Structure 1
Amino acid sequence: MKATWEKIEKNKVVLNVEVEAEQVASALDRAFKKVAAKANIPGFRKGKVPRQIFEARFGVESLYQDALDILLPESYVKAVEQSDIEPVDRPDVEIEQFGKGQALIFKATVIVKPEVQLGEYKGLEIPKKDATVTEEEIAEELKRLQQRHAELVVLEEGTAEQGDVAVIDFEGFVDGVAFEGGKSEKYSLELGSGSFIPGFEDQIVGMSKGEAKDIEVTFPEEYHSEELKGKPAVFKVVLQDIKRKNLPELDDEFAKDVSEFDTLEEFKQDIAKRLQERKEKSNEQEREKAAVEKAAANAEVDIPDAMVTTEVDQMYREFANRLQMQGMDIEMYLKFSGQDEATVRQQMRTDAERRVRNNLVVEAIAKAENISASEEEINAELERLAGQYQRTTDEIRQILGANGNLDTLQHDLTVKKTIDFLVEHSKEAAE
């Protein structure tokens, strides 16, 4: 097979491919076996009709499409490998010659991965944040734990306050007419949570148990229901119960109840340690992100739209998977958010383009600095995964190999090494 290529635009090339007549004949043979197995010709069992009888009845041309379906993908992949180009989209194929006894000649116009003109990527000034944990942060964490372990106590007297859980009956009306989904009984609403229409929860504050009240609100303009967007509404509310959080005392007993420590002081020291570790990890991730962003900003690259679209597809799938893990499918989200798929995808494009640019620049830096994951590093990662999933290293290697993910693992490790390289060769800039 012969394959040559020429650039016709910045990121577009044309592959000129010629496949030998012998390969065409082989593809026609394979196509005949496939078609003959289903051909119904009087006097012959399926799969037993002689080739010359088949061609005389249907013509050799009846095999061409199946033969092309067999030959084209194989030939295109080999041509790409032989030409050492990296397509990022499906090719536009034009057949110039194909037939029995002939070579296959075709052109494939394809978008390829763009070249990156690197700018400065060493000595970049990257801010370094302080990871010191303050007493206020420790106190805030203790307060959060207090809230989590608080006991709800029903109040017999008094009025509702922010932070209370109000148990309410309500029914909503627009223009005096009750609307669908606007009614509930004994609904538990934490005041101040912001889970209801703006202004609703504030008007419950000050109500007493058993009190009835008309609450007037206006639905937001971006509300998911087209019928209710921007509409004024009246909710008839009855406050059935008030539940207030009874916070536990911050003492040694509290520490024993919520941790493995015997004293509050020991627990506070552990909280400080964990908060510092969290800060240090977050700061490290921010430095890595800043290093990549700055290197990418200094580079020049013309990103094909096809790469951005592919990245949007990936981001959309990831988003749908996250929703599913939260018990919601993408169709439900679109309905509640009042958006369609095209709108969500469009919102993702800016971030998708940034991700593509960053990835291209990091790959270019890895190539320029001859950075790659070593066999030892790959084996170490396989051992880590084996321990995480309680499998042997060979099993993990086989699983990744069967899914075609060993190359992905090597690529990800190379990217990590390259980002580490950028951070190591950066300068600390005070914020």
Structure 2
Amino acid sequence: MKSSVETLEPTRVRLTVEVPFEELKSEMDKAYKDIAGQVNIPGFRKGHVPPRIIDQRFGRAAVIEQVVNEVLPGHYSSAVASNDLRPMAQPEVEVTEIPNTSGPQGGQLVFTAEVAVVPPFELPAIDESIEVVVDSTEVADEDVDKELEELRGRFATLKTVDRAAATGDFTTIDLVARIGGEEVDSVSDVSYEIGSGDMLDGQDEALSGASAGDEVAFTAVLKGGDHEGEEAEVSITVKSVKVRELPTADDDFAQMVSEFDTIGELTEDLRKQAAQSKESQQALQARDRLIDLLLERVEIQLPESAVEHEVSQRVEAAGESADQDALRAEVVREMSAELLSEAVAKEFDVQVSQQELIDYA
């Protein structure tokens, strides 16, 4: 296989790839064998139809088309790698020459691929003089307490109470939304934590102070469904109010949630976990701050088409109210950071173990 690169723009190239018939021969043989196993031709056993008969019945062009579809992606990838290109989008491929469709087998496959790329860039100097400031990995008692509280929270239970609801309480509710007096949406027996803000704007305020059996009403903009973005009159019936009760942090709790016999042993293990977490966070923080520092010292040209494509996808996901300038800056930073990270890893032959992938993923 031979390949060449023509620079059309600083961030766009045309890759020309030539594949001689000798490199296609094994795939041609495989294609003939596949077709022979699929067709029934009088006088020949299935799977034993000679290539010349297949050419006569179906045309060699059909075989070549199958081969081209099979081998083209691999040869494109090989050409990209051998020319040290960094594609940022799917290529626009055009097949300009195919092997002989009649007569003696031979000829070659030639195709071009136009693709957006990142042009080569020079890494800034990276040595011991570079310093970044990161957070300490020291574990405070407050860190351990937080881990223990989160663990207790996972084993909490809900208890019904006979009082007005407050922030942090869990309510069971029926909700109906109406526009112009017509019901447009409703849900029943939904558990909702007051203060979570997970449903409608104004819902937390409406439920605060309500008791089981009460009905509250408020106006809110709907966040989903066929009437998303429209203002609706919302009524909620409170069916119950519950509080979350945390289990006592004692030896019984330690035995229930872990392999440890005492709360002291569990707490010590939580301290070790917190230390490991802080070490992982520090490593990621150091990486991100180093990349930010290096990005200030290097110029990476990104294909505008690739940036715009990613921005449009994020705008579509976030909605029309999304700040496109902020999203664009985010996309440029992320793309540049990824390219820079890859270049640094290649320059210093960075190898990542399976355990490191687990620890820092």
Question: What TM-score do the two structures reach when normalised by structure 2?
Answer: 0.69
Matched AA of 1:197: L
Q: Which residue does the alignment assign to 1:129? A: 135
Contact preservation (8 Å) 2:16, 2:111: yes
Structure 2 CA distance for partners of 1:354 and 1:28, relative to 1, 3 Å: same
Give how far 1:90 is off.
Answer: 3.6
Q: Which residue does the alignment assign to 1:292? A: 291
Structure 2 CA distance for partners of 1:124 and 1:307, relative to 1, 3 Å: farther
Contact preservation (8 Å) 1:18, 1:106: yes
Q: Measure the CA separation in 1 of the matches of 2:228 and 2:337.
A: 42
1:166 aligns with 2:171: yes
Give how far 1:51 is off.
Answer: 4.0
Contact preservation (8 Å) 2:32, 2:51: no
Superposed CA RMSD in Å reads 4.9
Matched AA of 2:221: F
Q: Which residue does the alignment assign to 1:193? A: 196
Q: Which residue does the alignment assign to 2:240? A: 241
Structure 2 CA distance for partners of 1:2 and 1:75, relative to 1, 3 Å: farther
Contact preservation (8 Å) 2:64, 2:98: no
Q: Measure the CA separation in 2 of the matches of 1:242 and 1:103.
A: 79
Matched AA of 2:280: K
Contact preservation (8 Å) 2:93, 2:114: yes
Give how far 1:127 is off.
Answer: 1.7
Contact preservation (8 Å) 1:166, 1:188: yes
Structure 2 CA distance for partners of 1:67 and 1:167, relative to 1, 3 Å: closer
Give how far 1:287 is off.
Answer: 1.0
Q: Measure the CA separation in 2 of the matches of 1:75 and 1:151.
A: 59
Long gaps (5+) in structure 2: none
TM-superposition CA deviations, 1:373-413 (whole Å, max 9, x none): 4xxx87xx5xx79xxxxxxxxxxxxxxxxxxxxxxxxxx89
TM-superposition CA deviations, 1:8-38 (whole Å, max 9, x none): 4434144263736x77999888877777777
Q: Which residue does the alignment assign to 2:224? A: 224
Q: Which residue does the alignment assign to 1:103? A: 107
Q: Which residue does the alignment assign to 1:63? A: 60
Matched AA of 2:196: S
Q: Measure the CA separation in 1 of the matches of 2:299 and 2:209.
A: 60
Give how far 1:233 is off.
Answer: 1.0
TM-superposition CA deviations, 1:232-261 (whole Å, max 9, x none): 313052x33332334455566655655566
Q: Which residue does the alignment assign to 1:283? A: 282
Long gaps (5+) in structure 1: 317-333, 386-411, 417-431
Contact preservation (8 Å) 1:163, 1:192: yes
Q: Measure the CA separation in 2 of the matches of 1:253 and 1:37.
A: 68
TM-superposition CA deviations, 1:179-222 (whole Å, max 9, x none): 23x142x4433322323312223322223343x333213125xx
Alignment partner of 1:155 out of 137, 157, 161:
161
Task: Say how many residue pairs are matched.
Answer: 342
Higher fraction of helix: 1
Alignment partner of 1:365 out of 330, 344, 347:
344
Paired-residue identity, %:
23
Contact preservation (8 Å) 1:17, 1:79: no
Q: Measure the CA separation in 2 of the matches of 1:74 and 1:176.
A: 63
TM-superposition CA deviations, 1:39-89 (whole Å, max 9, x none): 888x8658768949965x98xxx4235325426865885687589224634
TM-superposition CA deviations, 1:337-374 (whole Å, max 9, x none): 8969xx9xxx98866654543343233334434x254x
Q: Secondary structure at the match of 1:358?
A: helix
TM-superposition CA deviations, 1:98-142 (whole Å, max 9, x none): 644573373523436632221233333312112333344444444
Equivalent runs, 1:333-352 vs 2, <5 Å: none
Q: Measure the CA separation in 1 of the matches of 2:146 and 2:77.
A: 58
TM-superposition CA deviations, 1:274-315 (whole Å, max 9, x none): 323322221222112222343344333333468779999xx9
Equivalent runs, 1:87-98 vs 2, <5 Å: 88=87, 89-90=90-91, 92-95=93-96
Give how far 1:144 is off.
Answer: 3.7
